[in-house]
Amino acid sequence: MTHALVPELYNALDPEFVTIQVRRKVFGLGIFHTLGEAMKVHCAPIRDAMVNDMVETALSGDVAGGLRKCFDCVEVMKLVSGYTRRARSVADRQDIANHQVHALRPYLWQAAAQHELVVFRSSLNGAGIELRKSITQRWIRDASVRIVKGLSPPQRSALMSNRPELIVRSLAEGVMELVSADWRTPGSPWPPVVPHRRIGFTGIQLSDITPAAATPIPESFKMDGRRFKNASAELVDLALTHMYVTAFSTLLVRVRPNLEPRLVKGLMADARGDIEYAFDIAAAAGTNLAGSEILGDLAFRLAARVYQPDFVVGEGRPHVMSPDVLVEVDLLAKTFSNFFAVQLRPDGTAYQTALRQVRQAATMLLTHQLLHGQWSPAWAASASSPTTASGGDAANEDVEMQTRFEETIPITTDNRPRSSHQTHCRPPTAAAVREEHAATIARATELETALFERSAMGYLRDEVKDLAQKVEPMVAFNLKVFMDIYAESGMAVGA
């Protein structure tokens, strides 16, 4: 990234060219966008607001003011004074560290996989633990057993014959098991605060200084404890949202069975907004949601929406209820409060049900993302040419294509084994491979849609998908490093 920016900056800041532009009154303010992006690459994230202000000032027409702020940013970043000056604050050191990380990123990326593998083996050797007796072995084997047990005999046979896919599915299952584990530490609040809600009044994300939980982590994920803890907090947050929305939906249908579907959908969206608002307020105030006044307010809001769909709470917009309606709202609010008191805890039955449903959906999405990421039809385009890049003939290329097709395509994405004619037919063409890939993705989407509809979680689909996408890079990198180890004898079931 750093080296790629250098020629771009040289072109944008060419003094002679900029002078000509100014004299002819055609100076392009887009140069400040380029400067802003370059500064964000090299400086600490805390400087982003300062850089954005500089860009906005220049684009508003105040070029002189934008230049002054630009030089102020550079001075604060210590890029003008040089790195020899001692950094006087944490932010100063972050600027330098961020710049160096970006400069070293190509090397770090190339060496990351080997480094991860060395750390893994050193960890086992240092503890005197054999691979077959490690936490990693028990974890990946248990995950693969759960995957295989959930299949019919034909499906099981098809998956066991496709080792790469078995490993991918087992890894996704095992990772989501870790994400859904209890990451609490003594004295830590429950429910945990989600990272994106842990924002101070300055807009800066507050750091979590609590120690890592005692949840045993496989040695292959030794350096990912923080990521698991953050993902776990988001999973709990989604499960609680689903629990509250389900409770609201149940009571809404019970009290108002004749509401129009359109009105029900709108009330569900309003109720979810109330729930999100309560979560945000609790996080901003650093208050434990369980047993707080925030839950009492939420219970009243939800009850009011059941009896008066047009209920609005807002500054300058007081809403007056009739005495009879208020009595009914108070009674229903108590019902909600009692439900919250009983179920808002890690062992609550409603919470555990919601957690299981959200985890199941997240596991499916993560599995499909990993399977699609492990195989892409882009390489198949070369099959349309008569010869390979190495000069081989088309027949040899078709054999190679068939081999890759057999080994990598997610043949059991829909839990259906490949038919015999698919296995023994002639090697597929590039178009056939792309068509099969598109069909596989379509089948995966159908499965996802059916699962969300069955669990009445369609409103959470984007959020669950976002969680799976956040976890995917970590899991995909782990798969790249440890695929051969997971496939060794004695690791996953059937090896």
Residue 303 belongs to some domain of the structure:
yes
Residue 183 belongs to some domain of the structure:
no
Residue 101 belongs to some domain of the structure:
yes
Same domain, 6 and 121: yes
Q: Which residue has the higher pLDDT, 411 or 471?
A: 471
Q: Which of 98-112, 230-244, 348-362, 374-388 has the lowest mean pLDDT?
A: 374-388
Q: What is the pLDDT of residues 413-429, one digit of tens each?
A: 344 444 444 445 566 67
Residue 359 belongs to some domain of the structure:
no
Say whether pLDDT at 358 is over 50.
yes
Say whether pLDDT at 348 is over 70.
yes
E-assigned strands of 193-332?
none
Helices (H), 375-460: 394-408, 420-424, 430-454
Mean pLDDT of 432-461: 86
Residue type, 245: V
Angle between helical axes of 293-307 and 323-343 (0-180°, round to 10): 130
| Residues in the chain, overall count | 495
Mean pLDDT of 223-250: 90
Q: What is the mean pLDDT of the chain?
A: 75
Same domain, 114 and 235: no
Q: What is the pLDDT of residues 77-93, one digit of tens each?
A: 654 444 444 444 444 55
Mean pLDDT of 238-251: 91
Number of domains in the chain: 2
pLDDT band at 332 (very low <50, low <70, confident <90, very high): confident
Question: Percentage of the chain with pLDDT > 70?
Answer: 71
Residue 487 belongs to some domain of the structure:
no
Instruction: Please say which residue of 316, 345, 374 terminates a domain.
Output: 345
pTM over 0.85: no
Instruction: Please say which residue of 94, 128, 162 terminates a domain.
Output: 128
* Residue-level pLDDT at 210: 43
Residue 56 belongs to some domain of the structure:
yes
Q: Which two tokens stand for residue 459?
A: 């409103």
pLDDT band at 6 (very low <50, low <70, confident <90, very high): low
Is the bond preceding 106 in cis, omega lying within 30 degrees of 0?
no
- Phi and psi, residue 387, nearest 5°: -135, 160
Query: What SS3 class is residue 404?
Result: helix
Residue type, 7: P
* Residue-level pLDDT at 132: 86
Residue 335 belongs to some domain of the structure:
yes
* Residue-level pLDDT at 83: 41
Q: Which two tokens stand for residue 308?
A: 């008066």
Say whether pLDDT at 461 is over 50.
yes
pLDDT band at 466 (very low <50, low <70, confident <90, very high): very high
Instruction: Please say which residue of 113, 128, 143 terminates a domain.
Output: 128
Domain of residue 111 covers 1-128
Q: Which residue has the higher pLDDT, 191 or 239?
A: 239
